[in-house]
Amino acid sequence: MDVGKLFKLPSLPSSAVNKRKAGLPADMAPVLGDEVPKRARIGDGDHDTDADADDAHYDAVHSVVDVDANYDGVDNEGDGGDDVYGDDDDEEGRFFGSGLTDEQQQILKIMNEDSDASERRPEEQLADVRRQLLQFEKTIAKNQEMRLKYPDAPDRFIASEADLDADIRGLAALTSNCALFYPELVKLGAAELAGLLAHENVDISGAVVSVLEELTDEDVLDGEKQDEDSPGSRALAALAQVLLEHQVLELLVSNLARFNDILPEGDAQPPPNFESDVHGVYHTLGVIENLVSLDDGIAKRLVSDTPLISWLLNRMRARGFDQNKAYAGELLSIVLQSARDDVAVRLGEAGGIDTLLVVLSRYRRRHHLDAEETEYVENCFSTLAGALLADENKGRFLQDEGVELMLLVLRERPVGGLRALQVLDHALGGGGGAPLCERLVDAGGLGVLFATFMERGKRAPGVNELEHIFGIIASLLHGLPSDSAHRLRVLAKFVEQDYAKTKRLLELRAATHVRVGAVEKSIAEERRILDAEGVDAQDEEELFYLRRLEGGAFSLQLIDYILAWLIMEDDDAAACIRSTLGAASMSVDAVVETLVEYESNASNDGGVPLKDILGALIAYIKETMKNS
């Protein structure tokens, strides 16, 4: 008999459906079915912990699980088998099933419903929880004792392993009132639960991961998410803290190496315990996501103390597509957003720029993807763009021919293709962007960039994509050396075809100005209300400014920055700009006004003396206005 079969992980719990936007596969049924095993309920009776009861307990297991009498004593945990365990309601047998007939289950269900219907006092519930946690400790000790006593005879400790699995899964009941129950778990049980991640039986470790995902999910707060001082939020934070103190991050990440969730290529059969390994990886990523969402500082610890970034990149680089690969891409994006500088540098050191380019190159000609794979591709673009905000990664992007790939993506426009504009915008900006600006021009990027800029109708870029185009052009103008051939080619684009692109830029400026005006009108109304209530609106000014930027003010700043360069560099372009603005009852004064605000919030940090450049442009335009 294959003892490992007994420890096969069940399907994903229904609570996992809420963990990610994408739904779970249809075959991932709830772990515990419609019934909650007796051992999983708070306040159930104690196990028999008498050492002399081991054999009796094991005999009871025999009534449900047919243990091979010819077992050779070798521990083959984790290997799948073809044995069939009984014909009860649960094909997995006693270990994960209830071990009850349909009639017994119905009686148990009625009893549970009757018990739940009667309200119990908090002190009574706490007493039950304390008993449950004490029993959990006893079960751990019993399992350790049996494993030490019979290290080469799995049939002798199998019953204690089943009890341990049941007690672990029973802890999920504590999520029903985290404010009341979690403080008890913190005092007794949380540290032991974290330690069980390193259990010799990978399926026990899998059960721990599944329960930890439920315990750390913010859904347990029942609407308290926005209130950090609520009892539930404090209890959840305390649980997370004690888990972290007992190296849960290191254990979770090292545990990933115990799972093999990648299907072999070709017609090869899945590895043993493939399904349970898939679930183990999924739940592990879920726990990590939960912890990161509770505290952004955890992302830094993941980078400094674990090889998570390398594992995620390797998982994403694998061929094929599955839900865990999608989750790896999503989690990498989440971790990067939580600790951008630290994660971006580590990602680059781990070969992440090359990996992301390889992954995206596989989708270069893919024009039809389902929702989950589309989200995965977009996460890859966003992660690459975020990583390129670190100057350390720009050289890697240049060396790995990232500019050329992004231009190919823009030409072929696959699913998510316009996200390449965000990547190029971040790559060309900053102090390390100058070599990438030259590469874009040398690679023929001006043609595809301005073709996208001029598009109208269904293929026209949206406001976000246009903002990235403005950012790319602005980077080209201040990143390329003055009077260089590369920079002259950029300026020539605005002159050719009777200043068509300059006129298009002014057209987009007018539309953006309308958007900003609508936001400013809304902010003015809010200021009026605050004044009427006697509230000092000065405290809200920073938020108001951020709203204006998001509402189009940043795009307007980039547009006017480009227009200012054109006014300085080409007299005919300057005349075109003045004429077009005049037709709209505006003047170059509007451009200066925008640049003054831009300068007041700019700095010379990041390798680009932006504040100095803006000051020089403002002074030049004002001088020409005096002389005109």
Whether the per-residue pLDDT at 468 is higher than 90: the answer is yes
Contact 386, 337 (CB under 8 A): yes
Residue 521: partners with Cβ closer than 8 Å, 6 or more residues away: none
State the pLDDT confidence band at 71, using cuts at 50, 70 and 90: very low
Would you list the domain boundaries of the chain? 3-350, 515-627
pLDDT of 579-590, one tens digit each? 999 999 999 999
Instruction: Give me the pLDDT at residue 100, please.
Output: 66
State the pLDDT confidence band at 116, using cuts at 50, 70 and 90: low
Classify residue 552 by its DSSP letter: I
Q: How far apart are CA 54 and CA 161, in angstroms?
A: 12
Whether the per-residue pLDDT at 25 is higher than 50: the answer is no
Instruction: Give me the pLDDT at residue 219, please.
Output: 92
Tokens 């403005």 sit on residue:
470
Name which of 81-85, 352-356, 496-500 the model is least confident about. 81-85
Instruction: Give me the pLDDT at residue 620, please.
Output: 95
Percentage of residues of the chain with pLDDT beyond 90: 70
User: What sections of 319-366 are H helices per DSSP?
Assistant: 323-338, 340-349, 352-361
Percentage of residues of the chain with pLDDT beyond 70: 80
Residue 18: partners with Cβ closer than 8 Å, 6 or more residues away: 217, 219
Which own/partner pairs from 589-596 qualify as long-range (CB within 8 Å, at least 24 positions apart)? 589/625, 590/560, 591/560, 591/563, 591/564, 591/567, 591/621, 592/618, 592/621, 592/622, 592/625, 594/556, 594/557, 594/560, 595/557, 595/560, 595/561, 595/564, 595/621
Average pLDDT over residues 407-432: 95
What pTM was computed for the model? Answer: 0.80
Instruction: Give me the pLDDT at residue 106, please.
Output: 56
Name which of 22-26, 458-462, 494-498, 600-604 the model is least confident about. 22-26
For the chain, helix, strand, coil in percent to 5 are 70, 0, 30
Instruction: Give me the pLDDT at residue 622, please.
Output: 93
Q: Residue 462 CB: number of other CB atoms within 10 A?
A: 8
CA distances from 120 to 109, 111, 117, 124, 158 (A): 19, 15, 9, 6, 36
Average pLDDT over residues 424-431: 94
Nearest to 99 by CA among 108, 109, 89, 107: 89
Name which of 144-148, 381-385, 535-539 the model is least confident about. 535-539
Average pLDDT over residues 183-195: 96
State the pLDDT confidence band at 104, using cuts at 50, 70 and 90: low
Whether the per-residue pLDDT at 58 is higher than 60: the answer is no
pLDDT of 303-340, one tens digit each? 999 999 999 999 999 999 999 999 999 999 999 999 99
Q: Please report the DSSP string for 540-565 in residue order.
A: GHHHHHHHHIIIIIHHHHHHHHHHHH
Instruction: Give me the pLDDT at residue 535, please.
Output: 85
Mean pLDDT, rounded, of the chain: 84
**3-state SS class at 188:** coil
Q: How far apart are CA 225 and CA 222, in angstroms?
A: 8
Whether the per-residue pLDDT at 84 is higher than 80: the answer is no
State the pLDDT confidence band at 108, using cuts at 50, 70 and 90: low
Q: Which tokens hold the place of 498?
A: 């009777």
Contact 202, 78 (CB under 8 A): yes
pLDDT of 216-269, one tens digit each? 999 998 766 557 788 999 999 999 999 999 999 999 999 999 999 998 877 678
Instruction: Give me the pLDDT at residue 371, please.
Output: 95
Whether the per-residue pLDDT at 522 is higher than 50: the answer is yes
Q: How far apart are CA 521 and CA 298, in angstroms?
A: 40
Q: Residue 503 CB: number of other CB atoms within 10 A?
A: 16
Q: For every residue of 374-433, which 3-state class applies, written as one string?
A: HHHHHHHHHHHHHHCCCHHHHHHHHHCCHHHHHHHHHHHCCCCCCHHHHHHHHHHCCCCC
State the pLDDT confidence band at 271, using cuts at 50, 70 and 90: confident
Q: Which tokens hold the place of 116?
A: 């739940």
Contact 118, 174 (CB under 8 A): no
Q: How far apart are CA 10 and CA 279, in angstroms?
A: 8
Residue type, 276: S
Average pLDDT over residues 469-491: 96
Q: Which tokens hold the place of 588?
A: 């170059």
**3-state SS class at 570:** coil
Whether the per-residue pLDDT at 59 is higher than 70: the answer is no
Whether the per-residue pLDDT at 115 is higher than 80: the answer is no
Burial tier of 543 (Cβ tally within 10 Å: 0-12, 13-18, 19+): exposed
State the pLDDT confidence band at 608, using cuts at 50, 70 and 90: confident
Whether the per-residue pLDDT at 37 is higher than 90: the answer is no
Instruction: Give me the pLDDT at residue 487, please.
Output: 97
Instruction: Give me the pLDDT at residue 263, please.
Output: 85
Average pLDDT over residues 274-297: 95
CA distances from 140 to 37, 99, 168 (A): 19, 22, 10
Within 13 Å of residue 474, how many CA atoms lie on the same side as its CB? 26
Average pLDDT over residues 65-84: 41
Residue 306: partners with Cβ closer than 8 Å, 6 or more residues away: 249, 250, 253, 254
Q: How far apart are CA 36 and CA 236, in angstroms?
A: 24
